[in-house]
Amino acid sequence: MTTHHDVREKSPAELRAAALEAELVERGLITPDAVDAVVEVFQDEVGPRNGARMVARAWVDEGYRQRLLADATAAAAELGYGGSEGEHLVAVENTPGVHNVIVCTLCSCYPWPVLGVPPVWYKSPPYRSRVVREPRAVLAEFGLDVPASTEVRVWDSSADVRYLVLPRRPEGTEGLDEAALASLVSRDGMIGVAAV
C-alpha cells in the first residue's frame, strides 16, 4: 500500500497514546517497533478473525451463506459476534461479475465486531473520496486488478449500516477444512481491496 493514504491529523486519544509510548520508550520499557507490531496484530489479525470465520463458514455451508446474505447481523450472532458498531451488518458477495468494496465517505464507519479496528488508510480522506470516484485505480494501487468485465460496486457505510465483503472462495481449496479456509481470509479481502 502506498503511504499517501496515511496523512491525517492525530486525534486527542492518539496524541495521548503517542505521549505514553514516548515515555515508555524513553524509560527503556518498550521499543517503538514492539508497539507498532502489537497495533498491526490487532488491525490485521486479531480483529478480522471473526469476519474470516464467517466467510469460511459461508464457503462450506450453503445454508449459512444464504443466512449471511439475508441478515448478516443475525449470521454474525450465530457465531457469537455482535455488539457496538455492528448492529446493522450487511454482507455483499463477490461473484465473477461483481466485485464489492466498502468505504465510509463521511468518516470511518466500520464493522468493528467482525473486522476489528479500521486501518489508518480506511479513515484517510484520499481513500474515502477516491474509491468512490475511481475505484479501479484505487484497487490497482492495492495490487488488485479487477477485470473490465467485472462490475465494481462501492458501498458507503454509515452509522446505520456497516458492510462486510464476502470474497470468492479461492480455486484449489476444495480439500481445506473451515479453519484452514478462515486462515486464508484477510481483513483487506473483507473490505474489498484484496481478492480474499
Helix pair 12-26, 32-41: axis angle to 10 deg? 140
> What is the closest distance, in whole angstroms, from the C-beta atom of residue 154 to Fe ion in the complex?
14
Q: Is 129 a catalytic residue?
A: no
Q: Which residues contact 59 (CB under 8 A, 6 or more apart)?
A: 65, 169, 178, 181
CB of 90 to Fe ion, least distance (A): 15
Whole-Å CA distances, 110 to 66, 153, 155, 187, 190 = 22, 17, 11, 12, 11
Whether 104 is a known active-site residue: answer yes
Dist CA 53 CA 41 (whole Å): 17
Which chain residues interact with Fe ion by CB under 5 A?
Answer: 104, 106-109
Q: Answer yes or no: 107 catalytic.
A: yes
Q: How far is the CB of 94 from Fe ion (least distance, A)?
A: 23
Q: Catalytic: 108? A: yes
Per the residue annotation, which of 11, 84, 109, 186 is the catalytic one? 109
Task: Return the number of the residue (38 or 107) whose C-beta is nearest Fe ion.
Answer: 107
Which position's Cβ is nearest Fe ion? 109
Instruction: Name the active-site residue from 11, 107, 158, 183.
Output: 107
Q: Which residues are catalytic?
A: 104, 107-109
